[in-house]
Structure formats: C-alpha cells, structure tokens
Structure 1
C-alpha cells in the first residue's frame, strides 16, 4: 500500500473510531487500514474510541492488533485507558483491561496521571472500583 493511501485510511479509521462507527471500522480494517496507526495529529483510533466510550469499537481495534498501552497525540492526549477512565466509560475500561492494558501506566511517558487518578477525579466510582479490582495502585 502506498503512503498516500495509508495516510487516507488512517485518517478515516480514526474518525470512524471516534464516532463509534463499528461497520466503518470493520470496512477500513478489511481495506488494509492498520489498527495501530495515527492520523496527522498523532491520534490513534483506539484512543479516539476509548475517550468517546465506543466499547464495541475498542474491542474490534484490540482484536485487530491495536496495543492497549500506546499513547496517542502529541502531548494533548494520553493512553486509551486514561482517556476512557477520565470520562467514566466503564465498558471501554473493561475491554482495555481484558486485553492487557496496564492499570498503573501513567500517561505523558510515565510522568502524568494514571487511569485511577483520572477516574477518581471524574468522579467515576464504578470505573474507580473496576481499576482497583484490576490492580491499580493509588498515587
């Protein structure tokens, strides 16, 4: 696949993931869009789906090979688990943890907040409880 086509597919995949368009995500993955890609701003499809609570899309991207612990963006975003926890998207958090997301991984390359920090700030008690049960350690 040439660079231009890959770039176009990546942009479309991030947008489809952001809107929870599972049919669109499936079609783009079949067309060759890599599950672990970024758009021009550095946003990953998994982060976009996670921060918007699109749990079905999160599951599809993880099944297609997206890593649950890859940071998204260029400083303005973070890990998919932090993004989902920040907004209390419990089903997305559950899917990420089931696929091996580290409940103690801090964003900003280890210097920022943890998923538990974000969930507690929310406040999102159900998400906080889920993270604690998965082994998240309070700061």
Structure 2
C-alpha cells in the first residue's frame, strides 16, 4: 500500500470510529488501517470513538492494539479516557478501563486534568463512580 492510500485508509478509520458501525471499523482494520495512527489532523481513532461514546468501536480498536493511554491531537484533544469522562460517556469509559486506560493519568503531557477530574468537573457521578472503582480482575488459579 502506498503512502497516499494509507493516509486515506487512516482518515476513513478515524471517521468510522466516530460515526460508523463496528463492522466497518473492523473491516478497515483488516484492510491495514493502524489503530494507533492519527489522521492528518492528529486525531487518533480511539480518541474519536471515545468522544462520540462509540463503546463497540472503542472495544474493537483496543482489541486491535489501540493504546488507551496515548494522547490524541496537537494540544486541542488529549487522552481518550479524559474525553469520554468529560462528557459522561459511561459506555466508552467502561471499555477504556477494561482495555487498560489509567484514570489517574494526566493529559497534556502530564500537566492537564485526569479523567477523574474531568468527570468531577462535569458532574458526571455515574462516570466518576466507574473511574473510582478498582477493576475486577480474575483471581489466578
């Protein structure tokens, strides 16, 4: 795949992550789109899915290797978990936490708010409860 095709594929993945069905996201990933590569604006697919509360797409991207603790954008976006928490998107928050997102990680390279702080600021009590509850991990056998 040449560079131009790859850029178009990434753009389609970012758009599908926000507004497409999970099957479309999965198909683009199978076609070679990178779950961690941003589009031309610097937006990652996982950030876009998180801010739009597309929990199924978040789950698919994380399963494909998207880093839930990677920042998106060039200073105007941030961490996927912070984006979801800011808007009170419990479905996306739940999937990001299951995928290993750190609710205490600060965005803006460590100088910004955490997802917990975003949820508190927005008054999203259900989301705050999700962020404050330790994940349930299976006990070793």
> Into which bin does the TM-score normalised by the smaller protein fall?
over 0.9
Q: Give unpaired runs (5+ residues) of structure 1.
A: none
Structure 2 CA distance for aligned equivalents of residues 77 and 5 of structure 1: 25
Shift of 1:20: 4.2
Count of residue pairs the alignment pairs up: 135
1:102 aligns with 2:80: no
Cross-structure match for 1:72: 72
User: Does the aligned pair in 2 maintain the 1:85–1:127 contact within 8 Å?
Assistant: yes
Q: What is the RMSD computed on CA atoms of the aligned residues?
A: 1.1
1:17-51: per-residue Cα shift (whole Å, max 9, x none)?
Answer: 01142122111111111111111110000000001
1:42 aligns with 2:42: yes
Shift of 1:4: 1.0
Cross-structure match for 1:82: 82
In the TM superposition, structure 1's runs of 4+ consecutive aligned residues that sit over 2 Å from their partners are none
User: Does the aligned pair in 2 maintain the 1:82–1:118 contact within 8 Å?
Assistant: yes
User: Does the aligned pair in 2 maintain the 1:20–1:56 contact within 8 Å?
Assistant: no
Q: Give unpaired runs (5+ residues) of structure 2.
A: 136-141
Cross-structure match for 1:21: 21
Structure 1 counterpart SS, 2:14: helix
